[in-house]
Amino acid sequence: MFAIARTLLILSPCLVGGALADEVQVAVAANFAAPFQQIAADFAAATGHRAVVSVGSTGKFHAQIRHGAPFAVLLAADDETPARLIDEGLAVKGSSFTYAVGKLVLWSPQPGRVDAQGEVLRKGAFRHLAIANPKLAPYGVAAMEVLKQLGLQEALAPRIVQGEGIGQAHQFVVTGNAELGFLAWSQVAAPGQPPAGSWWAVPARLHTPLRQNAVLLNPGAQQPAAQALLRHLRSDSAKAVAQAWGYGL
């Protein structure tokens, strides 16, 4: 079976548009976990529906969905996985759309460790650099693209430690198992607050745009709550939350 960590947003049963409020099982890419908490709360307040949230890597979610995981909606960290799920007959054709565009950052909790131009990568004043596994996580792919653009892929290969996903990569840096790492901006900065420590906001030109798409999966095709969530993700309030956490639209 599936080992899936869940966070339930629980509401008392109520009527929504004459129908009993329902729940929707949502798979959310780890980089978007914090913004989605607020979006899910706003969604619940607006519709009465509740979200049952699982957080993880996009690659693992893809594998779980292929093996029958009962998710109704996927918020991926890329646009390729939703397209692939549609091609595989596991998601509803025409339902995929970009809900956010991610921002990559090189970050360390240590002040002064990372300079504002990312020259720390060339100077090599560190032992370990954390990234998400490129085979499972789009942010890992973007990190490797940056190193390749900078001509540092081979030189830094022995220092790279890979997390299963962006969440584990973040943990490597927070716990000191890596001095710095390529992470999502939303993991290190809250709305209205710059990151603690030191960082380099990676220029978008150095990697493929991190277009993050949502898609309606087959189990949600006949679920009003799933369809309502996708509508809410397109709303001005959801877009404002994503922008507050540093995402583009």
Q: At what angle do helices 236-244 and 33-47 cross, to 10 degrees?
A: 160
How confident is the model over 174-227, as pLDDT tens digits?
999 999 999 999 999 999 999 999 999 999 999 999 999 999 999 999 999 999
Segments forming the whole domain that contains residue 121: 104-206
Task: Calculate the average pLDDT of the chain.
Answer: 92
Q: What is the pTM of this model?
A: 0.88
pLDDT at position 21, please?
72
How confident is the model over 84-129, as pLDDT tens digits?
999 999 999 999 999 999 999 999 999 999 999 999 999 999 999 9
Do 55 and 44 share a domain, yes or no? yes
Do 164 and 227 share a domain, yes or no? no
Do 183 and 129 share a domain, yes or no? yes
Do 97 and 113 share a domain, yes or no? no
* Contact status, residue 106 vs residue 129, Cβ threshold 8 Å: no
Q: Does 139 fall in a domain?
A: yes
Do 95 and 168 share a domain, yes or no? no
The total domain count for the chain is 2
* CA distances to 43, 77, 122, 127, 151 from 215, in Å: 17, 11, 39, 39, 35
Do 180 and 191 share a domain, yes or no? yes
Q: Does 14 fall in a domain?
A: yes
Q: Which of 4-13, 55-64, 142-151, 177-186 has the lowest mean pLDDT?
A: 4-13
Do 89 and 151 share a domain, yes or no? no
Do 139 and 87 share a domain, yes or no? no
Q: Does 78 fall in a domain?
A: yes
Q: Does 1 fall in a domain?
A: no
Do 122 and 89 share a domain, yes or no? no
The enclosing domain of 64 has a CATH number of 3.40.190.10
